[in-house]
Structure 1
Amino acid sequence: MATIYLQAEKIYKSFGDLEVLSDVSLSLFKNQRTALVARNGTGKSTLLNILAGADTPDSGKVTFRNDISFGYLPQEPQLNLSSTVLENVFNADDEISLAIRKYELALEKADKDELQHAIDEMDRLNIWDREQKAKQILSVLKLNEFNQRVDFLSGGQRKRVALAAILISNPDLLILDEPTNHLDLEMVEWLEDYLTRSQKTLLMVTHDRYFLDRVCTDIIEIDNKQVYTYNGNYSYFIEKRDERIRAKQAEIDKASNLLRRETEWMQRMPQARGTKAKYRIDAFYKLRETASQNLQTDNLEINVSASRLGKKIMEVKGLSKSFGSKVILKDFSYTFNRFERLGIVGANGTGKTTFLNLITSSLPPDLGVIDPGPTLKIAYYRQGGMNIPDDTKVIDVVREIADVITLANGKTITASQFLNNFLFPPDKQYTYVRKLSGGEKRRLYLLTILMQNPNFLILDEPTNDLDIFTLNVLEDYLANFPGVVIVVSHDRYFMDKIVDGLLIFEGDGEISGFPGNYTEYRQWLKEQEKETDNQAKQRAKTKNKPQQKERNKNKLTYAQKKELEQLTIDIEKLEKEKKEIEELLNSGTLNPDELVEKSTRYSEITKMLEDKEMRWLELSEYES
């Protein structure tokens, strides 16, 4: 029988008159890797907060298995800003983190009694490699300044510190809200592999469809305040969701047809009082309820026009930019072409956003020229989002830009109609920005960018916080956009669907190009690595063959034979001493001074063994 780790029963939550969650029930079993999928504004983050104990429901309850631990990564993690990266990583209250902190404190104080007690505790918990593991994970997440204070880090870096802390604490259950946000493509692939290999029980919200496909074993969908469970990955979910909607629509259509006939009967026999008639009357009302259901399959409509684009787009000549000793761009030149769809990839800190700020004149270059065409109209969707006061109404955000918007077919619509196309119905249009979810704010920001009718569209991490259904519509729009599109995104699915060429920021100001999408680029890289490895092996094989042949022609001299005999004796003695020291180090009987002495000797023996074994192997080749 499967072990239940987490159970939520009839969770209800509202904020004032806004009902966010209604009677949501779900179960999470051991070894399940489950994703929560729903449209923006339907309470995904609110539900995760409730499940993790960061918020309370108005009604309903959440039950965890008694003997399990869990770690929670919210969209906006709370860290100790005055502490260092490493201190935040070990700031958990679990037994292992407490033991490590006590050990580090004892080392600082140089108190022998405290140190011995801390060493005993570390031995008991078998966690000597914990700090090293932490540093390895932090390095993968590009957080190499372990002693840097967190208040000097960017928002993205802080989220990565929180992610590292959760992974290192190694809980039984992980609850992750948008874990791939602020990770570059290489980090996303590493996290994908880590979660799959570690076989963790997992509940998460993410818009990354490749991540969903490769990591998740189950999908939970919230649609029209109903919860649906799919036992499969994202591809399975899409297939079965379509089947569910078609079956439900067929049920509604059938009920509508039958309702017409039953309505006629009700109108003919309003005075009926028999048992059979009463049964039919009850059935009529149930039928009417079914026929009146609304599947709410309204989708975002992006049908804005783009300004006319001339032959000359933009030319970048000899562009250079540095911040102190850090080189971002070095003598870069590029000519943008009509209808180009260009992806920009590279590790965090290699200058992707800086490059976008340069070509939009938000930042001056150190050297070089940016020469835009006369018809160029740039719209820049920034990673940081929009800067709009929270007490502004949604409708006023749009009206401040334009009261009337031109569509792709040449027709014009009002700001209110345009908002409706972006799934902001009239009641939502007069609400305040502060009441919107993170995804709704992003959708509003996207609307304000597109309504400017640009012909050169720059999107810096556009997929953050947007739901999957909105992303599908945005992708279709961009695929047919009559202008230039530049995309920076960690969402590999989005990149594959949109771009047909890449600029790769390699660091130290170096930029290269690739004629294809991201998956094609990664495949090309693997083939290059494989070819390089094969060439290296071939060179080593060719180089070693004659040497080996020459060696085998020679016999050991008398002195070399004696050396080989002595090496055999020395290696045996050193291995015996090494084993004895290992037993002492694990015994817990040594005082601190003895610990230092034996540890030093252990390192010396290890190095001596390596040298002697290497020499023994060299002489043995002559002997064979």
Structure 2
Amino acid sequence: GGQQKRVALAAALVNNPDFLILDEPTNHLDLDMVEWLEEFLSSSKITLLMVTHDRMFLNRVCTDIIEFDQKELYWYRGNYSYYLEKRQERIDARSSQVEKASNLYRRELDWMRRSPPARTSKAKYRIDAFYDLRARATQRFSNANVRINVGAARLGKKILEAKGLGKSFGDLLILKDFSYTFNRFERLGIVGDNGTGKTTFLNIITGSIPADTGVIDVGETIVFGYYRQEGMSIREDMKVIDVAREVAEVVTLSDGKRITVSQFLNMFLFAPEVQNTFVYKLSGGEKRRLYLLTILMQNPNFLILDEPTNDLDIETLNVLEEYLAGFPGVVLAVSHDRHFLDKVVDGLLIFEGNGEVSGFPGSYSDYYDWKKEQQRNIQRVVKPTEEKPKPKSDSNKPRKLTFAERKELQELSTEIEALEAENRAMETEVNNGTLHYEELLAKSQRIAEIIELLDAKGERWLELMELDEKWENS
């Protein structure tokens, strides 16, 4: 997914467009790529129209926010922080207007009930005004109506211990002698480049796939809730309420109260009329919300989330973050959403590639600052002290691409597209389940080679694009 998104972005940017339309550009990208794209778009002169739920990306890139709410459009001249402030002011003002209209509506309703059947023209005008007032007094608008207060199974002292885990696919090494003991109420985020094995690690932890070496010791009280990146496999011709009923008929809340599935769906903004809607009629975000609901209905005490922010609307994301902050269990989350990581986790596992995994105690912002400081320290150490700076030389001054570099840029675009096409073909063959072991191993090795080539060529392409963009904007 990440490689495909990188190629799609490369195709969109290769011709230096004046007007760029992006639909969820950060989905499936690793954090380094998200940060590069953020810097690139912030410094470019491209007119950008973008749909995104990535709040940090939105805040740093966009200068205007357009909101669609209850079939109405609102335009905010500012970034995401400004939008939040002004949106709340709008909601408060509308709430005040609705409250005033409701008070007046009650008085007019009393007049309507007491008035005689015969109406003068003046009375009829008042009747027309009454119905308009009723519409204003009963209007609804979205303002964090979702509330998650699902219970969790009791958590014992023993959680989960991984000992000496190893995993590889052909020559692609995912884990090498990995050991870790999870503690009660721990909240860990997982970050790393695409293809380093983050999802594979989650599948090993839950027993979905076996490790090549090592053991996993799971506590007796552990109940996993696994929110998979690829979503759930359900029949599109099923009704929403039937999907939920396949999980449970009743749901236990955090206060011990038991409610029906229909009541629980209503808490998640699935109104009664929507509950009887077929799944294929739901939007992508609604399907994701339904999937999240089915996970929480199982009352897990060890939540495993693989890119949970993909396709969820911002309102649901905010409520999910609030719920996870007080979740009485363990949270293990793979995410590229820096805002989500900062609000939810208090430690990180960094997948560095080639089977190496390191830990960091702190939020993603803490890790980002530490990583930048490490890079600066390395640059200071390796900088040759004997070289004297050349006068009147500005190495930071943007320069035009040479003929050879421009030719290389064009060739890279073609090569990346060809490699991506070959990768798709290889993955189709591997997933067909018809290959012999030797063929499967050979195809897997070639896929690993393609991923390495795409990474190398993609990085070089981005380097040349950034150089060209700086020259164009200088």
Shared fold, TM over 0.5: yes
Shift of 1:379: 1.4
SS at match of 1:424: coil
- Structure-2 separation of matches of 1:290 and 1:362: 53
* Structure 2 unaligned regions, length at least 5: 389-402, 404-474
Is residue 299–residue 470 contact of structure 1 (8 Å, CA) maintained in 2? no
Q: In structure 2, give the amino acid aligned to 1:482.
A: P
- In the superposition, the TM-score normalised over structure 1's length comes to 0.60
- Structure-2 separation of matches of 1:286 and 1:428: 27
Shift of 1:424: 1.2
Q: Which has the higher contact order (CA 8 A, sep 6+)?
A: 2
* Structure 2 residue corresponding to 1:273, chosen from 120, 132, 152: 120
* Structure 2 residue corresponding to 1:401, chosen from 233, 243, 247: 247
Give 1:521's aligned residue: 367
* Structure 2 residue corresponding to 1:190, chosen from 17, 36, 41: 36
Q: In structure 1, give the amino acid aligned to 2:69.
A: D
Shift of 1:477: 0.6
Q: In structure 1, give the amino acid aligned to 2:97.
A: E
Give 1:286's aligned residue: 132
Matches within 5 A, 1:53-452: 155-266=1-112, 270=116, 271=118, 273=120, 280-297=126-143, 299-452=145-298
Shift of 1:444: 0.9
Shift of 1:283: 3.9
Q: Does 1:470 align with 2:316?
A: yes
* Structure 2 residue corresponding to 1:455, chosen from 301, 310, 326: 301
Is residue 23–residue 51 contact of structure 2 (8 Å, CA) maintained in 1? yes
Shift of 1:524: 0.6
Q: Residues 484, 214 of structure 1: CA spacing in aligned structure 2 closer, same or farther, 3 A cutoff? A: same
- Structure-1 separation of matches of 2:273 and 2:107: 36
Shift of 1:427: 1.3
Shift of 1:294: 2.0
Is residue 155–residue 221 contact of structure 2 (8 Å, CA) maintained in 1? yes
- Structure-2 separation of matches of 1:265 and 1:450: 49
Which protein is bigger by CA-based radius of gyration?
Answer: 1
SS at match of 1:169: coil
Shift of 1:528: 1.4
Q: Does 1:503 align with 2:349?
A: yes
Q: Residues 288, 511 of structure 1: CA spacing in aligned structure 2 closer, same or farther, 3 A cutoff? A: same
Shift of 1:268: 5.4
Q: In structure 2, give the amino acid aligned to 1:531.
A: N
Is residue 144–residue 319 contact of structure 2 (8 Å, CA) maintained in 1? no
- Structure-1 separation of matches of 2:368 and 2:328: 28
Q: Residues 289, 216 of structure 1: CA spacing in aligned structure 2 closer, same or farther, 3 A cutoff? A: same
* Structure 1 unaligned regions, length at least 5: 1-154, 546-581, 583-624
Q: In structure 2, give the amino acid aligned to 1:311.
A: K
Shift of 1:253: 1.0
Shift of 1:265: 4.5
- Structure-1 separation of matches of 2:91 and 2:14: 41
Shift of 1:251: 0.8
Q: In structure 2, give the amino acid aligned to 1:454.
A: P
Q: What per-residue deviation string (whole Å, max 9, x for no partner) do you get for residues 369-409 of structure 1?
A: 11111111111111111011111111111111111111111
Q: Residues 456, 173 of structure 1: CA spacing in aligned structure 2 closer, same or farther, 3 A cutoff? A: same
Shift of 1:489: 0.5
Shift of 1:278: 5.9
Give 2:329's aligned residue: 483
Give 2:425's aligned residue: none
SS at match of 1:458: strand
Q: Percent identity among equivalent residues?
A: 69
Is residue 144–residue 315 contact of structure 2 (8 Å, CA) maintained in 1? no
- Alignment size in residue pairs: 389
Shift of 1:535: 3.2
Q: Residues 274, 301 of structure 1: CA spacing in aligned structure 2 closer, same or farther, 3 A cutoff? A: closer
Q: In structure 2, give the amino acid aligned to 1:469.
A: E
- Structure-2 separation of matches of 1:180 and 1:387: 24
Q: Residues 504, 268 of structure 1: CA spacing in aligned structure 2 closer, same or farther, 3 A cutoff? A: same
- Structure-1 separation of matches of 2:264 and 2:109: 38
- Structure-1 separation of matches of 2:219 and 2:127: 71
